[in-house]
C-alpha cells in the first residue's frame, strides 16, 4: 500500500505542475491580448478601411436612370509607319530565295550558269520567264512556285532576279 501512496503522490504532483503551467500560459495569453488588442481593433478607421477594401466589388452595376461617371476620353496618336525596307537587288533575291533550287537543279530547275538548260527558256522571252517566276508554273520538267515560295518579295524584285539569272546563264 505504501507503493500505491507514493505513485499517487507523484501523479498528483505532475498533474498539479501541468495545471499550473497551463494556467500560467492562459494568464500570459490574456495579458498579451489586452496589450495588443488596443493597437488594431475593429472600431478603428484603419481596420474599417482595410475591410472595405477587401470586400469592395470588382465592378459596379448601374440601374436604369442612374448616371454613370466616366473618365475623360483619351486621344491616342498613331505611330509613324515603319520605314519600308529597301528593295533587294537581283543577286540578293537569288541568294536568299532562288539559290535553293536553281543552285542544285532541284525539281527540274535550270542551274544558274548552265546555258543548255536555260536556252529553251530564254527563247520564250524574259517577260514569260518573269510571269512564270511571279505567278508560278508547272511544266513538263518541273514546278516553279510563285515567287520562289517567298511571297514577301515584290514583283520587281522577282523580275530583277530573273534578269540576273538570265544574264549569268547566256
Rounded Cα distance, 32 and 8, in Å = 36
Q: Which residues contact 115 (CB under 8 A, 6 or more apart)?
A: 169, 170
Tens digits of residue pLDDT in 22-39? 999 999 999 988 877 766
The cell for 113 is: 550558269
139 versus 41: which is more confidently predicted?
139
Tens digits of residue pLDDT in 100-143? 888 888 878 888 888 888 888 888 888 888 888 888 888 777 78
In terms of pTM, does the model score above 0.75?
A: no
Neighbours of 104 (CB within 10 A): 10
Q: Which residues contact 68 (CB under 8 A, 6 or more apart)?
A: 62
Rounded Cα distance, 138 and 23, in Å = 98
According to DSSP, residue 32 is labeled: H
Amino acid at each position: 500500500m505504501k507503493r500505491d501512496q507514493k505513485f499517487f503522490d507523484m501523479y498528483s504532483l505532475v498533474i498539479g505542475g501541468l495545471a499550473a503551467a497551463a494556467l500560467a500560459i492562459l494568464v500570459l495569453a490574456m495579458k498579451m491580448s489586452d496589450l495588443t488588442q488596443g493597437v488594431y481593433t475593429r472600431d478603428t478607421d484603419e481596420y474599417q478601411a482595410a475591410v472595405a477594401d477587401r470586400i469592395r466589388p470588382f465592378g459596379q452595376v448601374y440601374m436604369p436612370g442612374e448616371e454613370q461617371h466616366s473618365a475623360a476620353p483619351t486621344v491616342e496618336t498613331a505611330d509613324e509607319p515603319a520605314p519600308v525596307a529597301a528593295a533587294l537587288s537581283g543577286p540578293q533575291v537569288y541568294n536568299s530565295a532562288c539559290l535553293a533550287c536553281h543552285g542544285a537543279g532541284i525539281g527540274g530547275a535550270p542551274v544558274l550558269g548552265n546555258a543548255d538548260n536555260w536556252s529553251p527558256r530564254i527563247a520564250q522571252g524574259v517577260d514569260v520567264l518573269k510571269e512564270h517566276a511571279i505567278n508560278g508554273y508547272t511544266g513538263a520538267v518541273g514546278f516553279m512556285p510563285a515567287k520562289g515560295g517567298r511571297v514577301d518579295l515584290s514583283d520587281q524584285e522577282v523580275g530583277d532576279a530573273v534578269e540576273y539569272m538570265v544574264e549569268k546563264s547566256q
